[in-house]
Amino acid sequence: MHTRLATSGDAAAIAEIYNREVTEGTATFDMVPRTEAEQLAWMREHSGAYPCVVATSGQEAGATVMGWACLSPYRPRPAYSTSVEDSIYVHRDHQGRGVGDLLLGHLVALADDHGFHATFARIADAGAASIALHSKHGFDLVGVEREVGRKFGRWLDVTVMQRLRPR
């Protein structure tokens, strides 16, 4: 297993992993799958300070993309610019085998390298795996936003977790 910065060549694999959670899961509040064009635009926004990393089955060209994780701006107003939000999605066929652990380790290291002071995770529907994974990587519970979203005919909470860059 290997992690690296994503390239535009990973767009289709990233979209496939994400779109399954859009249509079948509650981890994301998106309701409509991303098109190829939207995914490519998203890739352009997730570079530089706000990277996307992928976990692959090996280092060779054509290795399977098993999951991805990214940093995004937390809020648009300027004083929030020292904070970021993470996203992490592992293909359902590859969950529970350490892929998310590897991805979040790489992503948190990038957030520190890029000088971000606070990294937030907004975890929908009390996702147990995501809460445990973020705890393992130094995120603490901030609180729970109750019934802030609605999908598949039910209310969804968002658990907010936060990690500060080590001083």
Contact between 43 and ligand COA (CB under 6 A)?
Answer: no
What is the Cα 108 distance to its own chain's centre?
11
Among 128, 146, 166, 167, binds ligand COA (CB under 6 A): 128
Task: Specify the residue, 78 or 110, whose C-beta has the smaller distance to ligand COA.
Answer: 110
d(CA 22, CA 161): 22
d(CA 2, CA 99): 9
* Shortest-Cβ-distance residue relative to ligand COA: 100
Task: Specify the residue, 133 or 156, whose C-beta has the smaller distance to ligand COA.
Answer: 133
Contact between 27 and ligand COA (CB under 6 A)?
Answer: yes
One-letter amino acid identity for 159?
Answer: T
Site mask for ligand COA (CB under 6 A), range 52-91, x = bound: ------------------------------------xxx-
What's the longest Cα–Cα distance across the chain? 44
Question: For residue 6, how many C-alpha atoms fall within 13 Å in the half-sphere facing its CB?
Answer: 32
Of the candidate spans 40-48, 75-83, 111-119, 132-140, the one that interacts with ligand COA by CB under 6 A turns out to be: 132-140
Contact between 11 and ligand COA (CB under 6 A)?
Answer: no
d(CA 163, CA 165): 7
Of residues 94-113, those binding ligand COA (CB under 6 A)? 95-101
What is the Cα 92 distance to its own chain's centre?
15
Contact 124, 88 (CB under 8 A): no
Q: Which stretches of the chain bind ligand COA, using CB under 6 A?
A: 21, 27, 88-90, 95-101, 121, 123, 127-130, 132-133, 136
